[in-house]
Structure formats: C-alpha cells, structure tokens
Amino acid sequence: MNIEKMTAQMSSKPGFIAALDQSGGSTPGALRLYGIPDSAYSGDAEMFKLMHEMRVRIMTAPAFTGDKIIGAILFEGTMDGQAKGKPVPSYLWDDRGIVPFLKVDKGLETEADGVSLMKPIPGLDALLDRAVGLGVYGTKMRSVVNLPSESGIAAIARQQFEIGAQIAGHGLMPILEPEVSIKSPDKAGAEAILRTELTKGLDALPEGQKVMLKLTIPDVPDFYASLIAHPKIARVVALSGGYTRTDACKRLSANHGMIASFSRALLGDLRVSMSEADFDAKLAEAITEIFGASTVKG
C-alpha cells in the first residue's frame, strides 16, 4: 500500500469514484435492479453472497480500471471478501490501480429537525484498524438533509466532522457525506446552510488534516466552488442521489472541480442475465460517460 501515491491519485488524478457500497437496507433493491428477485435467496447470507458476486463481476470487468476510476467505495463485507483470489482492497489497488475506501456508517436515525443523523457506529475503532490492515485508504459515511433547518444541518455537520476526526486518527482519509435530498422542498436553501456549516468545520480542522466531501450536485452550478478550493479539502465528489445518469452527468458537467461518486447512475443498466460481452459493454459505456462529466466542464 503506497499512501503517497494513493493521496496523489485522490487529490488530482482525472477520473471518478465508483460507489459499490450498498448495505443491508439497500441491497435488495440493488439486486432487484440487477435482475435478481427477492425470491432468489433466503436470508442475509445468501443475499450478500449474490451481491458480492455482482460486485466482483463489476470489479473484474475490463473497463473497471484506474484509467477512469480513481477510487471505489466498498461495503464491509466486500472489503472482507476476495476477487480473483486476492483480498478485494489489494485486488483493486495492485491489479486495477483503484484506491479502496470503506463505508463505515450503520444507517440513518429517524428524521428529526429536518435531517437524519447517522446511527451510532459501535466497534468503529476496531473496524478502522481492520481496514488499515487490509490496505484501505479512506472511509465514507452518509447522513441526509431533507429541510433547510439551520440547527439540524449544524448537527449533521458536527457529527460528520467529529467522526471524521476519529477516522483520521487511524491514518485514514474520511469522506464526509451530508447528502441533501433531491426531493427537498427547498434544496437550494438547504445547500446554502450546508455550505456555511461545512466551511466552519473545515476552518476548524487541525493543521495538516484534510477531508473529502461527497455532496449532492447543487442546484446552482459551481455553488460549492469555495469548498473545492478550501485548503483542508482533498477532493469534492458528487453523489447521483436518484438522478438518472444522463441528468446527473449533465448537472455534474456544470460544476468545475467536482467529480462523480455514483452508484445507481453507474450500475443501473447492468443485468445478471447479460452475456459477458454485453455486461462489459454497458459498464464501459457508463464509465466513459461519467468520466467525461467528471473531467470535461462546459
């Protein structure tokens, strides 16, 4: 594991991050989209086995390389699994040139004050130690903003930065993900409050510490330019948030310095029934489109 090379790649190399981190709550929907119905498995073990097989098929496809994909976010079970006989993080970095990240959150609390904070993350230190041992570079954790609530969004930012500091203490790069729902009745208003709170958190970071941000593509192009330029930022990446790939890529193209970290927009056209040739072609098509939106700005 070459931390310096990974850091350089994540800070400046053209490309995007593939989000392969569906967890227990989102896995059934991801499998259904892939063409595997709920009736095809019984229990979590079988479900996650099928999901791992899907992810390995993606990670080992010819187009899934560091040429266009600079990082990949993994579910814990994927991090602990294997691809081509190697631990997944090692396979990604050594064989594909892709920096591995780990999703560490355990889901969302019930909405309160216009936001959904993260649930507690028991055993986080032990998980982070294991991630470091497996060659993981950084982490990701998601919370959600639904309404432009100043107190709620302040609480979201505070929680993200507090846990981010714990993660950084293990030598890992935190990706903070305070997602603004694209269904928010005042998305732009929520984004304005979020930008203010994130700026406060970045300003307060210790010297020498950086974080990444994963944000919903803003309604106003280049709205997060000040965050992208902040000296405590390693990279700002965009989630697709339910937008179609075409719409997400169009919106992303208007935001200079922001790159994609897509899940559904990347994987939505893939089906378990596809031949290897068709599967690889569809994945390559999606990768090329998302890479273009991440690197060529209008």
> So which residues are the catalytic ones?
177, 214
Q: Which residue has the tokens 């892709």?
A: 98
223-260: string of b/e by CB count within 10 Å (b at 16+)? bbbebeebebbbbbbbbbbebebeebbebbbebeebbb
Of 141, 150, 135, 139, the closest CA to residue 120 belongs to 141
What six digits make up the tokens of 262?
Answer: 């897509």
| Cβ-contact 118, 141 below 8 angstroms | yes
- Which CB contacts under 8 angstroms, 24+ apart, belong to 168-171? 168/209, 168/211, 170/125, 170/128, 170/129, 170/131, 170/132, 171/3, 171/132
Q: How distant, in Å, are the alpha carbons of 46, 88, 89, 133, 255 from that of 80?
A: 16, 7, 9, 11, 35
> What angle (nearest 5°) sits at the alpha carbon of residue 288, between those of residues 295 and 81?
105
The residue type found at 203 is: D
CA 24-26-29 angle, 5° bins:
125
Cβ neighbours for 253, distance < 8 A, ≥ 6 positions apart: 292, 293, 296, 297, 298
